[in-house]
Amino acid sequence: MASSSQSNAPCSCDCFVSLPPASALPAVIFAKNSDRPRDEVQEVVLVPSGTHAPGSRLQCTYIEVDQVERTYSVILSRPAWLWGAEMGANEHGVCIGNEAVWTQEPVGQEEALLGMDLLRLGLERGSSSQEALKVITSLLEQYGQGGSCREDPTPFCYHNTFLLADRKEAWVLETAGKLWAAQRIQEGARNISNQLSIGTDITMEHPELRAHAQKQGWWDGQTPFDFAQVFSLVHQPVRMEAAKARFRAGQELLKQNQGGITAMTMMGILRNKESGICMDSGGFRTTASMVSVLPQDPTQPCVHFLTATPDPSRSVFKPFVFEAGVAQVPQVLSPIFGDKDPVRTHPRFQTQVDRRHPLYQGHQAALGRMEIDQVSKGN
């Protein structure tokens, strides 16, 4: 996914959301598979709410941004080397997942906010999915998105799409540089998979979106404005065809379960290998997964299930609920390397460190024993 080797790099992530009447219960159900470099470790981090002094600054993965007075408590599934997250939820029942995407807008290697940084900032600052969306678009316009998204000397850069959900509704937010379009989802089921998917049904957009497209010659200003059609690459690389296939497969799996979608249904979709949604290919694999149940009844708690381990078909989804006294589980925290961390030294990523947390190590050891047993039985 580097801008320098975009055509050869594999990629895949899939996000899903179900709202009544697609859900089997009066709840919004969110799910995501995070597909990353196969040896990358994801940790699950609980960040408490906080208050911050006026004028304070916040260090994200690469750059600093202005801090806000109050931030919400969040649970994050994140690549252990960076500040942001691939997916997560906050104490108000807001969930967000992101996806890599390439568009007509060029992808630069200049360090800015990663899409994963924007995701965490949205969770820390948004008490609803719409408020989180506004946080992300505001920061996107102010700071931009950019920088390598992989712990490797070779840059690995992309723009982002997001799926945001809360107890009442969901939003699809798709970006191209600092430009963006958003679609509100109030019923039924929706998925996103590494491509632009918002057509003419645009609920909100960057004020200069259409003028920019017309100026670039991508849109004539007369025909209906179809965001995906206008901003998608004219010549799609082969890997994007795979993303289209996964998107269609995800749509079909949601359709097959329409009216009966539960947390278990979503876990089954995330574990589906035949479609490529649960993936292991070309040096990439599903490194972590998440499913959240967000009851429409505000007196009922939201329940978030996270694996913290690779391959959901061979992982357990562990539940988490925001409640008084909840604490960080140390077994899913990766080691900290401080100023000697390869992401902090310059030039970045010239060395490697072992980021495996105890659960990851135990999971990999168990899988190794299972594979040995299978070979022995086969003989």
Residue positions annotated with a catalytic role: 13
Do 65 and 120 form a contact (C-beta atoms < 8 A)?
Answer: no
User: What is the rounded CA–CA span in Å between residue 270 and residue 318?
Assistant: 15
Task: Kindly give, in sequence order, each residue whose CB lies less than 8 Å from that of residue 271, ignoring residues fewer than 6 positions away.
Answer: 278, 312, 313
Bridge partners of 170?
Answer: 165, 185
* Residues 321/330, Cβ–Cβ less than 8 Å: no
Alpha-carbon distance of 219 to 216, in angstroms, equals 8
Q: CA–CA distance from 372 to each of 368, 369, 379 (Å)?
A: 6, 5, 11
110: left (phi over 0), alpha (psi -120 to 50) or beta: beta
- Burial, 57: exposed, middle or buried (Cβ in 10 Å; 0-12, 13-18, 19+)? exposed
Percentage helix, strand, coil for the chain under 3-state DSSP, each rounded to 5: 25, 30, 45
3-state secondary structure of 115: helix
Six-digit token pair at 91? 């104490």
For 342, counting Cβ atoms within 10 Å of its Cβ (0-12 exposed, 13-18 middle, 19+ buried), the class is middle
Please tell me the distance from the alpha carbon of residue 277 to that of residue 12, in angstroms, as a whole number: 8
Strand, coil or helix: what is 361? helix
Cα separation of 75 and 96, whole Å?
11
**Number of helices (H), then strands (E), in the chain:** 7, 19
Give the whole-angstrom CA distance, residue 123 versus residue 75: 9
Q: What is the DSSP letter of 105?
A: S
How does DSSP classify residue 138? H
227 touches 204 (CB < 8 A)? no
Three-class DSSP category at 265: helix
